[in-house]
Amino acid sequence: MPIINSVKTDPNKILPIRYPWAREHYKSGVANNWVPEEVSMQRDVEQWKSTSILSATERRLILWNLGFFSTAESLTANNIVLAVYNHLTAPEARQYLLRQAFEEAIHTDTFIYCCDTLGLDPDEIYNMYQTIPSIRDKDDFVVEITRSVFDPGFSTEGMENTRLFLRDLVGFYVIMEGIFFYAGFAMILALKRQNKMVGIGEQFEFIMRDESLHLAFGCDVINTIRAENPDVWSREFQEELVTLIRRAVELEKRYAYDACPQGLLGINPEQFCEYVEYITDRRLERIGLTKQYGTGNPFPWMSQSTDLSKEKNFFETRVTEYQTGAALEWD
């Protein structure tokens, strides 16, 4: 029975498992549950209140990343509940989507925790997608390429509709969660490496671990759909997806320049852009598309936290304290 458009699938009957990778992603998520309150932000508060520890550039990138992520997580959660869940008919895939929706709620709670703890103005943070063009443009881009699947009458029946659904999956899993999040991740982790705002940095590491699972699941769904529907994966459609992804890279690079125009200690904005190109090539190859940039990794230290080949070692300093199941393992 296919993962979409299966009239024979009983949504209430999860056994026997047809797609074991979906079940494994679910178990990996459950094994690494977390809540933001586990992370102390006392030192973050002291640094934020200090007039000498954080530079204006560092304060700017913290605020901008909290502003972008706070609304991006809501966009992603809405897509899962209102679009993707309705059209994936495999029960084990739906089980993971419910887990992902829970994790998106945890991420939303994380930004509430950060704002409340630091005493930030919520109107400023949660309106940045409207007031800052490079944030608004990223959100608008994802909304535009996924608009059709939110139509209540949308169906994945037929080749063109299946392609629209694949565009949606690429838009949210590859572009939003796999590209648009990563310049911000690199910025916050760069601060953490300097022992600045470590509490926020640890929470972003938790989020990155979750997002890497979301990305892995999304890529597996995309690859399964194209394997079960090979006719939809035409050369023209592949070129269309590459064009969309390249446009996303330009938007993320613009955001990197805007959020951190002066760079950080030992890091310039161009390196954040190179990192976006580097991880984009990996996303492209993951779903069977040709890499576009050939850029090396300017941040080898990020490999311990975010790169797909290293994700099994993700966040060792905290995960082992509450992990109840098997360790994360996927390549």
Query: Any idea which residues carry the catalytic annotation?
Result: 113
CB 148 within 8 A of CB 252: no
CA distance 239 to 101: 31
Nearest to 232 by CA among 322, 159, 318: 159
User: What is the C-alpha radius of gyration for the chain, rounded to an integer number of angstroms?
Assistant: 19
DSSP 211-279: HHHHHHHHHHHHHHHHHH-GGG--HHHHHHHHHHHHHHHHHHHHHHHHHSTT-BTTB-HHHHHHHHHHH
CA distance 97 to 88: 9
And the tokens for 100?
């992902």
Burial status of residue 291 (CB atoms within 10 A of its CB: 0-12, 13-18, 19 or more): middle
